[in-house]
Amino acid sequence: MAETPAPMRFAVLLSGSGRTLENLIRAINDGELDGELVVAVSSRPAVRGLEVAHQSGIPAMLVDRKGFVSDLAFSEAIYEALSPFNPHLILLAGFLRKLDVGSSWDRRILNIHPALLPEMAEAAGRGFYGDRVHAAVLKSGVRRSGATVHVVDNGYDTGSVVLTEEVPVLPTDSVRDLASRVFAAECRLYPKAVSQYVAQNSDWIRTAPGKIVKKVRK
């Protein structure tokens, strides 16, 4: 009899309210996403996302970006913090800092962006998150937006697309209106996209990446 595979182990990186983390917790509890959330790390102190993790029994910690002189040093500290939890995938959940993606984590980090990629390039890239994205979409005059789950590479919102979900942009939309509609799409999309990505890459993804051996530079 074949052994049942061990649960997929997810690490979550966040910088704010933890709404996406809450959605991932819900999706796992409801059976939409097969796996377990083994650790949450915030790039900012005293954010609600850390409380969401604590209240759900998920180990949570802070790696404050302000304590590091470069994106590389910060990224190495993040990976070092994750290493004891041996995650298979990192899921970005409102994480607002740049990660340096080394070979150990290549194709093992996913992000969700609140617009359609790559077509809405004017609503993506450095500095585009949250309401800034929706404001750019409305300014462009397009009649559809949505959410995109993509692989994280060393650019800003440039990694290969895993899955998208579209929503309409209505003539009467405010930034808040569009943000609410897109976030509802994100809640449906992220668990589905993660499940699809795992299924399509099952030949290698369950082998956790190697331990980080670089010295962390603050």
Determine the pLDDT at residue 151: 98
pLDDT 10s digits, 62-114: 999 999 999 999 999 999 999 999 999 999 999 999 999 989 999 999 999 99
Residue at 132 is within a domain: no
Which of 88, 113, 134, 150 is an active site residue?
113
Cα–Cα distance, 62 to 206 (Å, whole number): 26
CATH code for position 16: 3.40.50.170
Determine the pLDDT at residue 207: 83
pLDDT 10s digits, 161-191: 999 999 999 999 999 999 999 999 999 999 9
What pTM does this model have? 0.94
Both tokens assigned to 126:
């450095």
Active site residue 134: no
- Does residue 117 have a pLDDT over 50? yes
- Does residue 210 have a pLDDT over 60? no
Cα–Cα distance, 60 to 57 (Å, whole number): 9
Q: By the 8 A CB rule, do 101 and 53 touch?
A: no
Give residue 30's domain range: 9-100
- Residue 181 three-state SS: helix
Lowest mean pLDDT among 42-46, 48-52, 78-82, 102-106: 102-106
Mean pLDDT for the chain?
93
- Does residue 213 have a pLDDT over 80? no
Total structural domains in the chain?
A: 1
- Does residue 129 have a pLDDT over 50? yes
CA atoms within 13 A on the CB side of 95: 29
203: confidence class by pLDDT, cuts 50, 70, 90: confident
Residue at 117 is within a domain: no
Residue at 199 is within a domain: no
Residue at 176 is within a domain: no
Query: Comparing 4 with 96, which gets the higher pLDDT?
Result: 96
Residue at 198 is within a domain: no
Residue at 149 is within a domain: no
Question: Cis peptide before 171, with omega less than 30 degrees from 0?
Answer: no
Instruction: Give Dmax over CA atoms of the chain in angstroms.
Output: 58
Residue at 27 is within a domain: yes
- Does residue 13 have a pLDDT over 70? yes
Lowest mean pLDDT among 64-73, 118-127, 206-215: 206-215
Residue at 69 is within a domain: yes
> How big is the CA angle at 150 (ends 95 and 166), to the nearest 5 degrees?
100
Cα–Cα distance, 61 to 77 (Å, whole number): 12
- Residue 94 three-state SS: coil
